[in-house]
Amino acid sequence: MTLAHVVEPRCADAHPALPAVTSARLTVPLVDGRRVPYANLDHAASAPCLEAVQDAVNELLPWYASVHRGAGFASRVSTRVYEQARDTLRAFVGAHRGDTVVFTRNTTDALNLLARCLPRGTSVVLFDTEHHAALLPWRGPNVRRIPTPERPGDAVVALEDALRGCPTGPRLVVITGASNVTGEVWPVTRLAEVARRHGARIALDAAQLAPHRPVDARALDVDYVALSGHKLYAPFGAGALVGRADWLQAAEPYLSGGGATRQVVDWGDRLGVSWSAVPERHEAGSPNVVGVHALAVACETLDRHGWEPIMTHERLLLDRLRTGLATVPGYTGLSLFGPDNDRVSVASFTVTGQDPGRLAAVLSAEHGIGVRDGLFCAHIATRRLLDRAGSTQQRALRASLGLGSTVEHVDRLVAALRSVVADGAGWNYRLIDGRWTPDPDPRPLPPFLTAG
């Protein structure tokens, strides 16, 4: 099994001043038989792996063993790696020293965990623009959903009103750092200030913010931060919930099983279980030490590198992308708070007369570009923004940039869109199981999928 012919030798050339990603030299096949460098414009879905993370994982692989319970030396090494990662995550999000770090599979898992740990009767307030991961874990009579605001200031006023109407008792406000649909940055500090005044805790969904900006929970004054490794240049299914320990400690374990227990005894008619304290309380089962290490190394690498060059790179590319997209006939950009609002490098849009799913298929099959189409797991928000933009489309297209993005990728996307609008697609496409697919699709799969 080899990837040699699809990934050329390592080279930190995408942008020498930035941490290198492992896919910088990935090439993909086109329907006309050519191979081109892959233009990954889908960082908001999952970001490529950092080379530093790949190296660290390779180093750990011979060592990984059971965490916490093994007496062997490799187990002790793995346990050290796993526990050190908690400190790294705490530092990465600027958490308080006493905050707990629970490792999860991803942001979805982290927010569902928090939802399961709320004290009885907690009022939850959130905006209906949330990604499903932050929207769906809280449902029921104690949840207030604030309709999509049109300006950051409206969001602040609406939150104040919603909190004023909450019954006494524990309260939680759920806020997204940056929208996965538009990239727009939410006024977290102002919202947190309102939440505090009304005695509410704040949970920050940092899935889209953390890969693009430093997150400082103390400066933002938020109580919980949830994030995903695979959006932060670390693959392997690890995420984290970082925050105040008390609610998590008082709750029943999220999962029942080994690792979450101190002692189990047979009381005849039932089992007597004494659960561990947080964070182990909510980490039943064998933990993902490799994934957690990957996540921690990604965080360290980004912090060590410094955010200024990363943010500058993304700002320049985003400006170029937005300027270029505006030249595509029929282009309509989606926006929550208007074109001037601060945003991370994500842009969603429609093109008049072009089905977003078909357009995404054309971009992939004929231009080697990866983008996302659909409603981006934020159905309510995306539909509302399509409505607001006056688009007749039911879905949108999203281009999202990151460390793996280059000027050439952006220019290729803009040129490809202009060419499809002007001349149509150069191939046939048909809907198969709801997805537009080249017909025929002669692109060969990599050998590791076809061998054997």
- Residues with a known catalytic role: 377
How far is Cα 290 from Cα 62, in angstroms, rounded to an integer?
11
Q: Which stretch binds ligand PLP (CB under 6 A): 55-63, 129-137, 212-220, 350-358?
A: 129-137
**107 is a site residue for ligand PLP (CB under 6 A):** yes
Name the DSSP letter for residue 280.
G
CB of 228 to ligand PLP, least distance (A): 3
**Rounded Cα distance, 436 and 31, in Å:** 14
Encoded tokens for 202: 């704040």
> According to the binding rule CB under 6 A, does residue 208 interact with ligand PLP?
yes
Give min distance, CB of 291 to ligand PLP, in A: 12
Q: Which stretch binds ligand PLP (CB under 6 A): 12-20, 73-81, 202-210, 328-336?
A: 202-210
Q: Which is nearer to ligand PLP, 29 or 211 (CB)?
A: 211
In this chain, which of 93, 175, 207, 363 binds ligand PLP, going by CB under 6 A? 207
Q: Are residues 241 and 93 in contact, defined by beta-carbon separation less than 8 angstroms? A: no
**CA-to-CA dists, residue 362 to 353, 411, 425, 434, angstroms:** 14, 16, 7, 15
- Closest residue to ligand PLP, based on beta-carbon distance: 180
CA neighbor of 21 nearest in space, from 237, 301, 208: 301
Nearest distance, CB of residue 230 and ligand PLP, angstroms: 6
Using the rule CB under 6 A, give the single segment among 60-68, 182-190, 205-213, 423-431 that binds ligand PLP.
205-213
Residue 104 in contact with ligand PLP, rule: CB under 6 A: no
| The one among 176, 182, 345, 406 contacting ligand PLP by CB under 6 A | 176
The window from 63-71, 126-134, 268-276, 397-405 that contacts ligand PLP (CB under 6 A) reads: 126-134
Strand-strand pairing, 143-146 and 27-29: unpaired
What is the pairing mode between strands 35-37 and 171-176? unpaired
426 SS3 class = coil
Q: Which of 42, 51, 205, 283 binds ligand PLP (CB under 6 A)?
A: 205
Q: Are strands 435-438 and 429-432 parallel, antiparallel or unpaired?
A: antiparallel
Rule CB under 6 A: is residue 106 a binding residue for ligand PLP? yes
| φ/ψ of residue 430, rounded to 5 | -145, 160
Show the beta-strand stretches assigned E in 247-389.
Answer: 261-266, 271-275, 331-333, 346-351, 369-370, 372-374
Q: Does 133 bind ligand PLP (CB under 6 A)?
A: yes
* CB 344, min distance to ligand PLP, A: 10
Query: 212 with 180: CB under 8 angstroms?
Result: no
| Cβ 278 vs Cβ 249: under 8 Å | yes
Q: What type of residue sits at position 171?
A: R
Taking the complex as a whole, how short is the minimal distance between the CB of residue 205 and ligand PLP, in angstroms?
5
Stretch that binds ligand PLP, among 118-126, 203-211, 242-250, 333-341 (CB under 6 A): 203-211
Picking from 329, 407, 383, the residue whose alpha carbon sits closest to that of residue 39 is: 407
| Distance in Å, CB of 180 to ligand PLP, minimum | 3
- The token duo for 270 is 């039932």
Token code pair at residue 365: 């099959």
Q: Which is nearer to ligand PLP, 191 or 420 (CB)?
A: 191
49 near 233, Cβ under 8 Å? yes
| Residue span binding ligand PLP (CB under 6 A) among the ranges 9-17, 104-112, 317-325, 392-400 | 104-112
CB of residue 337 to ligand PLP, shortest distance in Å: 16
- Position 180 contacts ligand PLP (CB under 6 A): yes
Q: What residues from 348 to 387 belong to the interface with ligand PLP (CB under 6 A)?
A: 377
Residue closer to ligand PLP, measured from CB, 99 or 205: 205
Q: Dump the DSSP string for 193-225.
A: HHHHHTT-EEEEE-TTTTTTS---HHHHT-SEE
Q: How far is the CB of 137 from ligand PLP (least distance, A)?
A: 11
Beta strands in 117-186 (DSSP E): 123-127, 143-146, 171-176
Closer by beta carbon to ligand PLP, 116 or else 443:
116
Query: Is residue 182 within the footprint of ligand PLP (CB under 6 A)?
Result: no
Q: Which of 68, 131, 281, 384 touches ligand PLP (CB under 6 A)? A: 131
Site for ligand PLP in 313-342 (CB under 6 A): none
Tell whether residue 228 is a contact of ligand PLP (CB under 6 A): yes
134: contact with ligand PLP by CB under 6 A = yes
Return the number of the residue (205 or 223) whose C-beta is nearest ligand PLP. Answer: 205
Query: In which residue are the tokens 């190394």 written?
Result: 297
132 Cβ neighbours under 8 A, 6+ residues apart: 377, 378, 379
Sequence-distant (≥ 6) Cβ neighbours of residue 27 within 8 angstroms: 6, 7, 8, 35, 36, 37, 38, 368
* Interface with ligand PLP (CB under 6 A): 106-108, 131, 133-134, 176, 180, 205, 207-208, 228, 230, 377
